[in-house]
Structure 1
Amino acid sequence: MISHISQIGVYVTDQDAALSFYTEKLGFEVRKLQDGGDFKWIEVAPPGSPTTISLATKDFPVGTESKIGGFTDIAFETADIKALHETLSQRGVRFTVEPELQPYGKWFAAFVDQDDNEFFVFQPA
């Protein structure tokens, strides 16, 4: 049986810039950083999360250029969306949707990374 989601990928143009964004602006921790010269494997995650995000370049695998700069299908959860919005905004994170209460009862916001990859953030009602 599958126990959990281990890893998801986000494609970026510059792994070093992405690493800086995810660690310095979002506060994620580095779970894996292997530099093989021509190839770098980077995994980051929110503290305590069992699921990591791999920061992959558009060159691996070939043909992923179209996956940069769009909706990622990744949603994060927070206990205080307004405080998160304030903190991340102060760190330079650009929100595409400000926090708002949705008709289905959850708070919702959206932001982008350095490559305009878009993420959702939810706060349970």
Structure 2
Amino acid sequence: MPISQILTVTVPVADQERALAFYTGVLDFEVRTDNPFPMGRWLTVAPKGAETTLLLASWFPDMAPIGGLVVAAPDLDALAARLREHECAFEGPSEEAWGRQVLFYDPFGNGFVVSQA
């Protein structure tokens, strides 16, 4: 049977509390799970209404940051303003052959490409 969906993407973070503040406070994600786990917390977040979650995992100290995770937003100008307001490094919005996009990194070096939804 083929794989039918992606449930969770693991995002390595050094500090789960700081990651939680970024993803919920800056990106307006919601907490999906926050449970004790032998190596920390099983902490997942996602955009409101999304099926796939991000696991903010602090127990992989040697895991390199992920790059190029593509997500979507309906208003890239508003996203850029919010990132600027929170002093987050980002590029864009820019016009590319495939459409508008914003590039940014979370506080732990994980890279995101945001396409216009």
**TM above 0.5:** yes
Q: Which runs of 5+ in 1 are unaligned?
A: none
Cα 1:37–1:47, aligned 2, differ >3 Å: closer, same or farther? same
Residue identity in the other structure for 1:115: F
2:81 is the alignment partner of 1:81: no
Identity of aligned residues (%): 34
Structure 1 residue ranges (4+ consecutive) displaced by more than 4 angstroms after TM superposition: none
Cα 1:38–1:65, aligned 2, differ >3 Å: closer, same or farther? closer
Whole-Å Cα distance in 1 between the matches of residues 47 and 31 of structure 2? 9
Q: Of 87, 92, 96, which residue of structure 2 is paired with 1:92?
A: 87
Whole-Å Cα distance in 1 between the matches of residues 17 and 75 of structure 2? 29
Whole-Å Cα distance in 2 between the matches of residues 38 and 65 of structure 1? 14
Please tell me whether the aligned partners of residues 12 and 63 of structure 2 are also in contact (alpha carbons under 8 angstroms). no
Give the paired residue count: 116
Q: Which runs of 5+ in 2 are unaligned?
A: none
User: 1:72 Cα deviation (Å)?
Assistant: 2.4
TM-score by length of 2: 0.87
Q: Of 55, 64, 68, which residue of structure 2 is paired with 1:67?
A: 64
Whole-Å Cα distance in 1 between the matches of residues 39 and 70 of structure 2? 31
User: 1:3 Cα deviation (Å)?
Assistant: 2.9
Whole-Å Cα distance in 2 between the matches of residues 75 and 115 of structure 1? 17
